[in-house]
Amino acid sequence: MTAIPFVDLRAQHLGIGEAVARAVARVADSQQFILGDEVRALEETLASRFGVAAAVGVANGSDALYLALRVAGVGPGDEVITTALSFFATAGAIARVSATPVFVDIEPEGLGIDPDRVLAAVSSRTRAVVPVHLFGRCVRIEPLVSLSERHGFVLVEDAAQAIDATRGGRAAGSFGDFGCLSFHPTKNLGAWGDGGMVLCKSVTAAREVARLRAHGGADGVHEVVGINSRLDALQAAILRAKLPQLAAWSHRRRECAARYRELFFEAGLDGDVSVPRLDNDGVEVFHHFAIRCQKRDALRAHLTDAGIGVGVYYPTPLHLQPCFAALGGRVGDCPVAERAALELLSLPMFPELSHAQQTRVVAEIAVFYRGKRN
């Protein structure tokens, strides 16, 4: 049987190849490869799409987080509260500015950082909070916005997986002082390589991000030491060519999620598998469709053997990562995240995923639990 990939970028390319080829040709003609008009145009488009003061293109989403924290003035001696369940880059950025990550537990349903636990973790050293809109669902952000106003800390949203997700009609990534996007090829809006963007609430902050992405200098004078984190013109041009499709792709992801839910319901797998519930306060973009399941690792092996691409995001919660051992994180500190790390399994999810493919994925899951097809 034909394999079903976890993400099918070739299928996307079939639909968008010509527009992307034109964008690539434009850059080839211009011979302007780094920053320049293409990057500026993308920055302006995204700033207006998100309703923020300015956006700054950078080399990847990890640097977007690092630069946001740098510009926020986070440094040694500061604490930054973040979720225990995310891609490593979220925590890595905090460590890279020499601050101390404080990991707190997540909410069992939406998998976002638990605002009550954030409140409990606030100390006199808290300088910033970094919520992550995991798998394309905006976290319960309102309490975090009020907390940040009350306590005067900076809110940096990790929206790497959530471009186009909204909550209360507002875009994930536009609530905080900074919103950070990733254009890694597998993201909902993916480049042909690495790319990222810092969405900024203030123009002054954006100027500072722009200074730090280019070694911290202006006119050959360096008041601060920055990094080299410029966005390529080629990536910006490709992203601009793809951007008009994003809303339709997000819509298709939601349709696929609804279809998975129906198929699981019909298969009657409750008890073995639970599927994500709809977010009633926001619009999700299903970067991943992650089920919670019993015997997760055996199911993963079964699906892999059947030629179905699946992934475990994330097997080790951040507070238990060996590189943070000195912070004293222990099993039991964040029980909800720890349980999720044992149970979550991300299924194939991409806009071009067909009904037939989804039917087969769920049928194989039924075979695993029941030993037969429905």
Ligand X SMILES: Cc1ncc(COP(=O)(O)O)c(C=O)c1O
User: In the bound complex, what is the minimum distance in angstroms from residue 188's beta carbon to ligand X?
Assistant: 11
Q: Residue 176 or 306: which CB sits closer to ligand X?
A: 176
Residues near 278 by beta carbon (within 8 Å), at least 6 away in sequence: 284
Residues near 208 by beta carbon (within 8 Å), at least 6 away in sequence: 71
Q: Residue 64 or 366: which CB sits closer to ligand X?
A: 64
Q: Residue 115 or 196: which CB sits closer to ligand X?
A: 196
Question: What span, in angstroms and rounded, lies between the C-alpha atoms of 81 and 202?
Answer: 22
Minimal CB distance to ligand X: which residue? 61
User: In the bound complex, what is the minimum distance in angstroms from residue 263's beta carbon to ligand X?
Assistant: 26
- Residue whose token pair is 């970028």: 9
Question: Which uninterrupted H or E stretch holds 292?
Answer: strand 289-293
Distances 127 to 74, 124, 157, 194, 324 between C-alpha atoms, Å: 6, 8, 14, 29, 19
Question: What span, in angstroms and rounded, lies between the C-alpha atoms of 226 and 24?
Answer: 29
User: In the bound complex, what is the minimum distance in angstroms from residue 111's beta carbon to ligand X?
Assistant: 11
User: In the bound complex, what is the minimum distance in angstroms from residue 109's beta carbon to ligand X?
Assistant: 18
Residues near 247 by beta carbon (within 8 Å), at least 6 away in sequence: 164
Q: Residue 28 or 323: which CB sits closer to ligand X?
A: 323
Q: Residue 279 or 364: which CB sits closer to ligand X?
A: 279
3-state helix, strand, coil in the chain (%, to 5): 45, 20, 35
User: In the bound complex, what is the minimum distance in angstroms from residue 194's beta carbon to ligand X?
Assistant: 6
Residues within the interface to ligand X (CB under 6 A): 60-62, 86-87, 89-90, 132, 158, 160-161, 182, 184, 194, 196
Q: Residue 35 or 198: which CB sits closer to ligand X?
A: 198
Residue 247 in contact with residue 75, Cβ under 8 Å?
no
User: In the bound complex, what is the minimum distance in angstroms from residue 93's beta carbon to ligand X?
Assistant: 8
